[in-house]
Homo-oligomer: A and B are copies of this chain.
């Protein structure tokens, strides 16, 4: 089935393989009148670019985005926005060897099972380069959310065994270190750990955390289109993610009700105050206006140079070492992807939720009549 489309109202369709002519995305359902140019997109793409330090692949991916449609005189027109990044630096030679066998931890085998054959160059469609389309689309979603006052903060929470300490949380630190951690001490320890992984020709997993500030209350649709259910799908659709949490997440399963419930009180000026936020900003699948907090658990890069057992396409057992230029950890590059998928989900659910009340509906049409 067609699986390359995300969202119902703000709808994103990505295409492209690692070593094909390019990677692209069509964003359909973007409201007209948003100021948009290629710089808005490029800023986001640059956050996932490799080769910026020793913890990501030394491949130079000079990804430059071009907007092909849907923008006129500097503003979106309401019609599909097509964006493309041409693939420039493919070295197909690097990958020809893998055509014949199945790399452990990669999708080589399952693609062959599903499709009968595969574009083996650089992982084809299952390559991390596929996320370029998501990030380009996410940049637009983030811009619209920003206009509505909603902000998203995303960063690395853990690399392997090294986790941030919230008592040292410093937002300004995130962009200062190559691992995008908000805790300078943890960033140092994580770097040391990665050096060890590199030395061992091994790789590491990690955790990305995302906080949404100023989310509108009342969005997310019971019962199957819950806000957190859609976030879970969005996050698990990222290649290497193996777990998802909202709020206290897995820890809630070990808690008691008296610990896990978020009690309410009123502020001096009668605003509703939650005395805690174990729920992560969502109850019954609907946002309550407090911070949405989610986490993506990412497996270690499967491309490692230590020896592994595998089989060939023609049915032989062999031992391999995956060559080539690989990230010892993909977590820092996944930060912007998690942010993009979160933004795409939030925006689609905000749009979907505009029709939940007759009074608002009547106001909307009164407002826009005869404009």
A257-B203 in contact given A1-B9, A5-B28, A77-B119 (Cβ < 8 Å): yes
Residues in B whose Cβ lies below 8 Å from that of A3: 28-29, 221-226, 285, 352
Contact of A243 among B24, B221, B245, B258 (CB under 8 A): B245
Per the bound structure, the CA–CA distance linking A210 and B206 in Å amounts to 24
Per the bound structure, the CA–CA distance linking A351 and B351 in Å amounts to 10
- Is there an interface contact between A160 and B254, defined as CB atoms closer than 8 Å? yes
**Chain A at the B interface: SS class:** mixed
Residues in B whose Cβ lies below 8 Å from that of A105: 257, 260-262, 279, 283
- Is there an interface contact between A111 and B29, defined as CB atoms closer than 8 Å? no
What are the interface flags for A228-261 relative to B under an 8 Å C-beta threshold, 1 for contact and 0 otherwise?
A: 1111111111010011111111101111111111
Residues in B whose Cβ lies below 8 Å from that of A235: 232
- Is there an interface contact between B68 and A22, defined as CB atoms closer than 8 Å? yes
A353 to chain B, nearest CB (A): 7
- Is there an interface contact between A82 and B5, defined as CB atoms closer than 8 Å? no
Q: Which residue of B lies closest to A204 (CB)?
A: B256
- Is there an interface contact between A287 and B242, defined as CB atoms closer than 8 Å? no
Residues in B whose Cβ lies below 8 Å from that of A363: 367-368
Q: A114-B353, A363-B368 are in contact. List 10 more A-B contacts (CB 8 A).
A: A3-B226, A13-B26, A15-B70, A32-B115, A147-B362, A160-B253, A229-B232, A257-B306, A265-B310, A266-B311
